[in-house]
Amino acid sequence: MRWRVWFDRLLVLLILLAAWQGGSLWLGNYWLSAPWSVATRFFAALFNGEMVFHAGYTISEALAGSVIGGVPAVLLPFLLRRQPIVVAILDPFMVGGYGAPKLAFAPLFILWFGIGIESKIALVAAVVFFIVYFSTLSGVRALEPKLVQMAQVIGASERQVGRHIVFPGAVPAIFAGFRIAVPYAIGGAVIAELISSNRGLGYLVQTGAMNFDTTQVFVAILAATIIVHAFIAVIDLGERFLLRWRPRGAVLIADHGT
C-alpha cells in the first residue's frame, strides 16, 4: 500500500519532469529552463552557501511572521469564548481582513516598516493571522457542550474548562489552520522580497527575471516549494504526536488534506 503510493508518486514526478523537459526543448532554454539545468544550479547554490543565505532569510521571515500572527490568532478565540457579542461585533472586520488581498498590502508594509526584514514579517503575520484565527474559532465553536457540562458538574472552574476541554478539543482545528497557512506564509515572504529586497528567494526570482535567467527563477520556486513541504512535514509530526489519542482512521483522513 505505502509502496504503491511512493511508486506512483515517483511516476507522476517523472511525467511532470518529462513534460517540463519537452516544453523546454520546444520553447528553448531561454524561455523555459530545463529540469536538468535547474537541478544543477540548485545543488550548486546549495553547496556554495548561496541557497542557505537566501532561503534562510525567507524561512526566518516566514517563521517570525507565523509566530507573531499565529499566537494571537490562537489566543483570541479562547479569550473571546465567553464574549459572543464581542465576537459578533468583530466578525465583519475579521471577514474583511480575511478576504482582503493582503499581498496587495506589500508595498504599503514596505512603506511603513522599511525595506528590511520587518516589512516582510509584517506581511506574513497579517496573512497567517486571519487564516489561523478562523480555523481556531471554528474549533472552539465545535466544542461538545456535554463535555463542558460534565466538567462543570465535577466542579471545574471556567479556566479549567478552557484548559482541559476547550483547548484540547480545538487542537485539531489549530493544526489545520497552520497547515493551510504555510504556503501563504512562504508566499507572502517571497512576494514581499520580490518588491524590495536584497536577499531572500523573492530576491532571486526578481534578479533572475531581470537578467532573463529563467533557471534562477525556477531554482527559487523549487526552493520555496521544498520549504513548504518541510514546514508541513514538521506540522504533521507535531500533530501526530499531540493527536495520538485520535482513532487511526481519523488521522488518515486528515492526512489526505495535505
Partner 1 sequence: MAGTPMLEIKNLGKRFPARAGREPPPWIIQDMSFEVAAGELLTIVGPSGAGKSTLLNIIAQIETASAGEIVFDGEHIASPEQKALHPGLNRRIGYVTQDDNLLPWRTTIDNVLFPLEVQGTLDDAARARAQELIGAVGLAGFERYYPHELSGGMRKRAALIRTLVYDPPMILMDEPFAAVDAQTRTQLQEDLLRLWSLKRKTIIFVTHDITEAIALGDRALVLTQRPARIAAEHPIPIPRPRQVKDIFTMPGFAAIYAGIRADVQ
Contact set with partner 1 (CB under 8 A): 146-147, 149-156, 160, 164-165, 168-169, 171, 245-247
The burial of 143, by beta-carbon neighbours within 10 Å (0-12 exposed, 13-18 middle, 19 or more buried), is given as middle
Give the nearest distance from C-beta 132 to partner 1 in angstroms.
21
Q: Which is nearer to partner 1, 2 or 146 (CB)?
A: 146
Tell me the backbone φ, ψ of residue 53, rounded to 5 degrees. -60, -50
Q: Which is nearer to partner 1, 66 or 136 (CB)?
A: 136
Give the nearest distance from C-beta 82 to partner 1 in angstroms.
12
Contacts (Cβ under 8 Å, ≥6 apart) of 128: 65, 66, 69, 70, 73, 178, 181, 184, 185, 188
Which residue has 511512493 as its cell numbers? 6
Q: How far is CA 176 from CA 2, 67, 136, 235, 243, in A?
A: 23, 15, 9, 9, 12
Give the nearest distance from C-beta 175 to partner 1 in angstroms.
13
Q: Which is nearer to partner 1, 35 or 169 (CB)?
A: 169
Q: Which is nearer to partner 1, 176 or 191 (CB)?
A: 176
Q: Which is nearer to partner 1, 62 or 165 (CB)?
A: 165
Lookup: cell for 258: 495535505
Assess contact for 35 and 94: CB atoms under 8 A: no
Report the C-alpha gap between 47 and 209 in whole angstroms.
23
Report the C-alpha gap between 95 and 87 in whole angstroms.
11
Report the C-alpha gap between 18 and 147 in whole angstroms.
54
Give the nearest distance from C-beta 146 to partner 1 in angstroms.
5
Give the nearest distance from C-beta 1 to partner 1 in angstroms.
22
Q: Which is nearer to partner 1, 99 or 155 (CB)?
A: 155
Q: Which is nearer to partner 1, 154 or 210 (CB)?
A: 154
Give the nearest distance from C-beta 151 to partner 1 in angstroms.
7
Give the nearest distance from C-beta 243 to partner 1 in angstroms.
8
| Closest alpha carbon to 221 in 234, 236, 238, 204 | 204
